[in-house]
């Protein structure tokens, strides 16, 4: 909870603006990510959450320029340390990758090349970006250093991926992800496929490495409980829109957006049993999103205005934005009434 | 806020382009390879049908025509030119090549169909047993397949035919089918194994659906495109074996098939005497048949496996 | 690291020896299943061709005595298997003093050479073309030209042999029409002789290659398409590796594994094709030997040649199977 204070830098390292990504289908484009804008600050860890299909992974892959067909980027701007990623030529982009933006995939599964030794998969990324000038011993010592950072034993240096456990593979992916000291690291569901104990250890490894190297980190996940312990801010996505982005303590103490409230209320708790608030997924056709606010079809507080005007992000607090008309000063009265009835049904 | 700049065309390896993406959602059976292949075979059968109606097929027997005549518009090494009575020429025992083509082409395909069908049926039974029942069945069948696939079938067929001598077409087809079960068995076993592990079959098992129903109601329909592709592949193999045996001289000799015609032509040194029409007409016909079968096979492959469509 | 697990090794060896045993038994049984007495029929045909039919009874008895055909079948069977184990394939009936082993020994190297070279070419070319077909950096023109070059895929090598022989040997005269080296050449390791052998072997090898490589290209393309969807390909892209490096170290390297399995499976079909191509080009290998034996009704030679070709195929399959764990690191761990 205190971490955010220590890492409170105001320098923006990643600036995403109006990023829009579609998936082509014969019945028209599915809007996966709809004009998302946000900043990532130096040394910050940002969690990206939302239910399945909300576009959080597509956003990450869009930032990494890895959207696979039939997906494609419609428009937007992605600036890393002042470099516009979308304007890079193919070769410039190749060189930029991993030094500017790197990826920690869901490595427990299938992200490592099964026919290459662990060392070769780390060496290849070093050599293709720094040239082949380093000696074998230098490379080995450097990789041993990476192993130590993520708590891997040196003996796996010469092993193949199938000889490692899921947790080890995930750590290899973390070691690989930070091998070139990138500006921004994106961890895509890095802990999802692991069992609970290993999940926690890997998450701790992630935080430790991040703090040591001082990179900025985006963590994509759906486990709000786990995320709360490792991130500084949380961005909540719904149906391709970012509805709220807030420091982690704000979002748990007082979620603003109605969708965020539902999401937080749905975190299971040992102390009390409560009915699941979110009973259905995204209800509208992703090819024809509703007019105005994307969430109004499921929102308990929606009124006519929500169907007419799309809510713009409103600054609610320091580094805290919410895209909901209730927080427009003009509708303050309505907000007070709405929450009063919602709290006492 | 930066103005909405349009992203450059395809900065991402792998492509951000829309074009070429949509066509794979079309009706899979409207696959041009599949349609072209069936179309070629259709035209071929139509021509054969016309031939039976319009031409005297008795001319395919020996000594019904002058010897060694070239096709119309060509000249043979004796300076004879082609005559309209025998538009595709004749060979050295006085068979008319057009009649031989009309009679021989369906006979060659017939061998392929019989052998492929018998082999395929055996393959389905064995493949399902191995893949679905598993255990000892699987071990034994897998071993038998490994052995049968390693042995070049032509060699054993040569040994059999060396004993039996020349045989009729049905016997030849059945002999070939003795060796055309292994590949379909192997293929079907693999497909059944992967389907058996799939969610919907597991669900059916858990809910107590009898094994027979799972096989024929759950797995079989999903296997159909694979089975058809495998059947066509089997037919190619069977025709290759049949032509091979015929070219070695084991085919029926009175009414020749295409392979037997090639055998006669090689025996008579047609390659050295520039009687290209003798071996050339059967060769080109068979080539066309094989290209058609390949196209059908590729088409079926793409129908069965949508991922291949993207890359084509 | 490396090494082959015991289970894998034992299973491959079991398949190998069982294949030999099944082949040997088939070759032993088939003539005895035929109606009538095949030896008698053969001798009758032989003597008919040679022009005398008197004494045929005595001749038949003589043959039977020589081949031990008067013994019980199981005695014959075990004697036959014992002979095979010692490399004794018996005598050629038509060229009596020569043993089958001698004749096969002269023909086999030519066939192995022909198949080996053809296989190397179609496997490399086919996989390379297939990889280029699927790779997204391949120039468009290449992607159009490669499928066009695959037009003859899956027609029998025999027919390709006929077309090539007629076009390039008979009409154009670029290559010799028959045999594995020119008349009057003395076999030896001279440059001239090697060039001559390549000149003679070119068309037969091409007859196999042009109908086969397309099959490998298609298989490779299919594998590449599958691999392009793998998670590690996305990571390779994210890592900013050089495209060509990704092609060979990530894509081809992984796609080649199933292709090796497919190669082992296709050896039988390949040998079928080679036998017939040899016949077309009158190439002095095993195929031509077996056809000569057929023509001369030399049953001992037919059996011996078939058996040795089957052994050779099984050996090739065994070698490929045993080399497989060396290129796929995952196999060697199983069942250790």
Q: Which domains does chain A have, with CATH numbers?
A: 2-343 (3.40.50.300)
Within a domain: residue B249? yes
Strand partners, A218: A46, A186
pLDDT, one tens digit per residue, over C208-217 is: 999 999 999 9
pLDDT, one tens digit per residue, over A217-250 is: 999 987 777 888 888 999 999 888 888 998 988 8
Q: How many domains does chain B have?
A: 1
A109: which DSSP letter? S
Residues 82-121 of A with CB under 8 A from B: 86-90, 93
A149: which DSSP letter? H
B214: Cβ contacts below 8 Å, ≥ 6 apart: B132, B201, B204, B205
A97 and C CB contact within 8 Å: yes
Which of A41-55, B39-53, C52-66, C180-194 has the least mean pLDDT? C52-66
Q: Which of B163, B271, B291 sits opposite C31 (nearest CB)?
A: B163
Indicate the pLDDT class of residue C94, thresholds 50, 70 and 90: low
Neighbours of chain B (3+ CB pairs under 8 A): A, C
Distance (Å, rounded) from C-alpha C288 to C-alpha C279? 5
Q: Out of 3.40.50.980, 3.30.565.10, 1.10.760.10, 1.10.3720.10, which CATH number does the structure's domain C103-285 have?
A: 1.10.3720.10
Higher pLDDT, B75 or B284: B284
Instruction: Tell me whether residues C234 and A115 touch, CB distance under 8 A.
Output: no
Q: Which two tokens stand for residue C134?
A: 């699927």
The parent domain of residue B171 ranges over 54-311
Neighbours of chain C (3+ CB pairs under 8 A): A, B
Instruction: Tell me whether residues C234 and A68 touch, CB distance under 8 A.
Output: yes
Q: What does the pLDDT read at residue A343? A: 55
C144 burial via Cβ count (<10 Å: 0-12, 13-18, 19+) = exposed
Q: For residues B216-230, b (16+ Cβ closer than 10 Å) or e, as one string?
A: eebbeeebebbbbbb
CB B182 within 8 Å of CB B148: yes
At CA B61, angle to CA B58 and CA B66, rounded to 5? 100
Q: What does the pLDDT read at residue B261? A: 87
Within a domain: residue B136? yes
A72 and B CB contact within 8 Å: yes
CB C197 within 8 Å of CB C283: no
Within a domain: residue B23? no
Measured N-to-C along each axis, helices C6-33 and C299-327 cross at an angle, to the nearest 10 degrees, of 160
C255 and A CB contact within 8 Å: no
Within a domain: residue B39? no
Within a domain: residue B49? no
Query: Chain B residues with CB inside 8 Å of A68's CB?
Result: 14
Query: Chain A residues with CB inside 8 Å of C231's CB?
Result: 105-106, 109-111
Sign of CA dihedral A325, A327, A330, A334: positive
pLDDT, one tens digit per residue, over B84-128 is: 777 777 777 778 888 888 888 888 889 889 999 999 999 999 998
Query: Chain B residues with CB inside 8 Å of C290's CB?
Result: 155, 158
CB A235 within 8 Å of CB A38: yes
* Residue B58 CB neighbour total at 10 angstroms: 11
C222 and B CB contact within 8 Å: yes
Instruction: Tell me whether residues A125 and C231 touch, CB distance under 8 A.
Output: no
Q: Which of A112, A116, A129 sits opposite C249 (nearest CB)?
A: A116
Q: Which of C153, C165, C273 sits opposite B271 (nearest CB)?
A: C165
Neighbours of chain A (3+ CB pairs under 8 A): B, C
Nearest residue of C to residue B140, measured between CA atoms: C15
Strand partners, B56: none
Chain A: closest CA distance from residue B21 (Å): 6
Within a domain: residue B169? yes
Q: What does the pLDDT read at residue A2? A: 41
A192: Cβ contacts below 8 Å, ≥ 6 apart: A106, A221, A222, A223
Indicate the pLDDT class of residue A4, thresholds 50, 70 and 90: very low
Distance (Å, rounded) from C-alpha B248 to C-alpha A182? 69
Distance (Å, rounded) from C-alpha A31 to C-alpha A34? 6
Q: Which residue has the tokens 């994210």?
A: C238
Q: Which of C237, C242, C328 sits opposite A66 (nearest CB)?
A: C237
Q: Give the phi and the psi of residue B81 in degrees, each rounded to 5.
A: -110, 160
Spatial CA neighbour of C185 closest among C176, C197, C173: C197
The secondary structure of chain C, three-state, reads: CCCCCHHHHHHHHHHHHHHHHHHHHHHHHHHHHCCCCHHHHHHHHHHHHHCCCCCHHHHHHHHHHHHCCCCCHHHHHHHHHHHHHCCCCCECCCCCCCEHHHHHHHHHHHHHHHHHHHHHHHHHHHHHHHHHHHCCCCCHHHHHHHHHHCCCCCCCHHHHHHHHHHHHHHHCCCCCCCCCCCCCCCCCCCHHHHHHHHHHHHHHHHHHHHHHHHHHHHHHHHHHHHHHCCHHHHHHHHCCCCHHHHHHHHHHHHHHHHHHHHHHHHHHHHHHHHHHHHHHHCCCCHHHHHHHHHHCCCHHHHHHHHHHHHHHHHHHHHHHHHHHHHHCCCHHHCCC
CB A298 within 8 Å of CB A288: no
Spatial CA neighbour of C21 closest among C72, C77, C65, C75: C77
Over residues A264-278, the mean pLDDT reads: 66
Instruction: Tell me whether residues B12 and A67 touch, CB distance under 8 A.
Output: yes
What is the value of pTM for the model shown? 0.84
Q: What does the pLDDT read at residue B305? A: 73
CB A21 within 8 Å of CB A32: yes
Within chain A, residue ranges assigned H as helices are: 3-6, 56-63, 90-96, 118-130, 136-150, 166-177, 196-213, 224-230, 248-253, 258-265, 304-308, 332-343
Query: Chain C residues with CB inside 8 Å of A162's CB?
Result: 329-330, 333
Mean per-residue pLDDT over chain A, rounded: 84
B4 and A CB contact within 8 Å: yes
Residue range(s) in chain C whose domain bears CATH number 1.10.3720.10: 103-285
Q: What does the pLDDT read at residue B12? A: 38
Q: What does the pLDDT read at residue C37? A: 61
Instruction: Tell me whether residues A69 and B14 touch, CB distance under 8 A.
Output: yes
Torsion of CA C263, C269, C273, C278, to 10 degrees: 80
Chain A: closest CA distance from residue B141 (Å): 30
Within a domain: residue B41? no
Within a domain: residue B45? no
Indicate the pLDDT class of residue B204, thresholds 50, 70 and 90: confident
CB A49 within 8 Å of CB A8: no
Q: Which two tokens stand for residue B80?
A: 């004879």
Q: Which of A71, A75, A88 sits opposite B6 (nearest CB)?
A: A75
Strand order of the β-sheet with A12-23 is A30-41, A12-23, A71-80, A83-84
Question: What is the domain-level CATH number for residue B302?
Answer: 1.10.3720.10
Q: How many contacts does A have with B, using Cβ atoms within 8 A?
A: 56
Query: Chain A residues with CB inside 8 Å of B5's CB?
Result: 75, 77, 86
Spatial CA neighbour of A40 closest among A183, A236, A221: A183
Which of A26-30, B79-83, B234-238, C242-246 has the least mean pLDDT? B79-83
**SS3 of chain B: helix, strand, coil, percent, to 5:** 65, 0, 30
Instruction: Tell me whether residues A162 and C240 touch, CB distance under 8 A.
Output: no
> Is the per-residue pLDDT at C63 higher than 70?
no
Mutate to test the interface with C, among A110, A115, A187 (most CBs of C within 10 A): A115
Q: What does the pLDDT read at residue C85? A: 84
Distance (Å, rounded) from C-alpha A49 to C-alpha A238? 9
CB C150 within 8 Å of CB C253: no
Indicate the pLDDT class of residue B144, thresholds 50, 70 and 90: very high
Nearest residue of C to residue A110, measured between CA atoms: C231
């Amino acid at each position: 909870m205190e971490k955010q204070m220590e890492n409170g830098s105001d320098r923006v390292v990643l600036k995403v603006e109006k990023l829009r990504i579609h998936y082509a289908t014969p019945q028209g484009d599915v809007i996966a990510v709809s004009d998302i804008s946000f900043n990532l600050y130096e040394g910050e860890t940002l969690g990206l959450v939302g239910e399945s299909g909300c576009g959080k992974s597509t956003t990450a892959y869009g930032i990494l320029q890895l959207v696979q067909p039939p997906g494609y980027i419609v428009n937007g701007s992605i600036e890393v340390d002042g470099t516009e990623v979308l304007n890079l030529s193919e070769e410039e982009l190749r060189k930029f990758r991993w030094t500017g933006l790197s990826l920690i995939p869901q490595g427990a599964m299938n992200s490592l090349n099964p026919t290459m030794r662990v060392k070769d998969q780390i060496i290849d990324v070093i050599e293709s970006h720094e040239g082949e000038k380093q000696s074998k011993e230098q490379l080995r010592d450097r990789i041993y250093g990476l192993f130590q950072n993520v708590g891997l034993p040196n003996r796996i240096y010469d092993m193949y991926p199938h000889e490692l456990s899921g947790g080890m593979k995930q750590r290899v992916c973390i070691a690989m992800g930070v091998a070139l000291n990138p500006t921004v690291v994106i961890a895509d569901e890095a802990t999802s496929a692991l069992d609970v104990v290993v999940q926690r250890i890997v998450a701790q490894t992630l935080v430790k490495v991040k703090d040591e190297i001082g990179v900025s980190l985006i963590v994509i996940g759906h486990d709000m409980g786990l995320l709360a312990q490792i991130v500084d801010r949380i961005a909540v996505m719904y149906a391709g829109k970012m509805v709220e982005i807030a420091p982690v303590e704000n979002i748990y103490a007082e979620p603003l957006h109605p969708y965020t409230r539902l999401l937080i209320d749905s975190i299971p708790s040992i102390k009390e049993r409560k009915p699941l608030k979110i009973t259905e997924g995204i209800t509208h056709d992703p090819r024809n999103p509703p007019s105005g606010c994307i969430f109004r079809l499921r929102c308990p507080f929606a009124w006519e205005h929500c169907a007419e005007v799309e809510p713009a992000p409103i600054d609610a607090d320091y580094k805290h934005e919410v895209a909901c008309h209730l927080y427009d000063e003009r509708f303050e009265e309505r907000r007070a009434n709405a929450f009063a009835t919602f709290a006492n049904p | 806020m930066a103005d909405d700049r349009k992203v450059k065309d395809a900065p991402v390896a792998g492509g951000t382009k829309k074009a070429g993406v949509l066509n794979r959602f079309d009706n899979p059976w409207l696959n041009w390879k599949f349609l072209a292949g069936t179309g070629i075979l259709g035209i071929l059968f139509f021509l054969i049908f016309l031939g039976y109606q319009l031409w005297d097929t008795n001319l395919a027997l020996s000594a019904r025509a002058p010897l060694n005549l070239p096709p119309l518009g060509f000249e043979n090494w004796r300076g004879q030119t082609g005559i309209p009575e025998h538009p595709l020429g004749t060979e050295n025992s006085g068979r008319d090549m057009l009649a031989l083509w009309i009679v021989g082409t369906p006979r060659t395909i017939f061998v392929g169909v019989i052998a492929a069908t018998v082999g395929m049926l055996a393959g389905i039974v064995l493949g399902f047993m191995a893949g679905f029942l598993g255990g000892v069945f699987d071990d034994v069948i897998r071993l038998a397949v490994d052995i049968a696939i390693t042995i070049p079938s032509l060699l054993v067929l040569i040994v059999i035919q060396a004993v039996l001598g020349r045989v009729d077409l049905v016997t030849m087809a059945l002999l070939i089918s003795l060796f055309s079960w292994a590949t379909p068995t192997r293929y079907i076993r693999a497909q059944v194994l992967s389907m058996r592990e799939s969610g919907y079959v597991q669900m059916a098992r858990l809910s107590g659906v009898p094994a027979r129903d799972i096989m024929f109601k759950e797995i079989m329909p999903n296997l159909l495109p694979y089975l058809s592709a495998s059947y066509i592949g089997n037919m190619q193999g069977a025709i290759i074996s049949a032509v091979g045996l015929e070219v070695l001289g084991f085919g029926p000799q009175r009414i020749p098939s295409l392979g037997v015609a090639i055998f006669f032509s090689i025996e008579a040194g047609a390659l050295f005497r520039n009687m290209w029409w003798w071996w050339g007409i059967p060769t080109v016909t068979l080539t066309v048949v094989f290209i058609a079968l390949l196209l059908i096979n590729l088409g079926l492959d793409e129908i069965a496996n949508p991922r291949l469509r993207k890359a084509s | 690291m490396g090494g082959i697990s015991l289970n894998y090794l034992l299973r491959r060896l079991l398949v190998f020896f069982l294949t030999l045993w099944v082949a040997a038994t088939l070759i032993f049984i088939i003539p005895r299943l035929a109606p009538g007495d095949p030896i008698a029929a053969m001798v009758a045909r032989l003597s008919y061709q040679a022009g005398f039919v008197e004494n045929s009874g005595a001749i038949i008895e003589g043959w039977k005595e020589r081949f031990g055909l008067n013994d019980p079948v199981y005695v014959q069977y075990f004697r036959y298997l014992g002979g095979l184990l010692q490399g004794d394939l018996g005598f050629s009936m038509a060229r009596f003093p020569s043993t089958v082993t001698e004749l096969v020994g002269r023909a086999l190297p030519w066939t192995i050479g022909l198949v080996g070279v053809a296989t190397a070419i179609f496997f490399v070319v086919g996989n390379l073309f297939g990889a280029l077909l699927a790779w997204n950096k391949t120039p468009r023109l290449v992607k159009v030209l490669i499928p066009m070059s695959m037009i003859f895929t899956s027609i029998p090598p025999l027919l390709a042999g006929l077309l090539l022989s007629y076009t390039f040997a008979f009409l154009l005269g670029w290559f010799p029409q028959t045999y594995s080296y020119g008349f009057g050449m003395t076999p030896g390791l001279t440059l001239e002789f090697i060039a001559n052998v390549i000149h003679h072997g070119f068309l037969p090898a091409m007859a196999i290659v042009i109908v086969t490589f397309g099959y490998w290209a298609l298989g490779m393309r299919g594998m590449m398409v599958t691999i392009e969807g793998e998670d590690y390909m996305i990571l390779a892209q994210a890592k900013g590796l050089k495209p060509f490096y990704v092609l060979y170290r990530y894509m081809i390297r992984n796609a080649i594994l199933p292709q090796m399995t497919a190669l082992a499976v296709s050896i039988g079909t390949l040998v079928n094709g080679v036998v017939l191509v040899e016949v077309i080009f009158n190439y002095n290998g095993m195929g031509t030997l077996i056809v000569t034996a057929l023509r001369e009704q030399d049953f001992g030679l037919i059996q011996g040649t078939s058996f040795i070709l089957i052994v050779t195929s099984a050996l090739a399959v065994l070698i490929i199977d045993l080399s497989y764990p060396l290129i796929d690191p995952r196999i060697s761990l199983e069942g250790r």
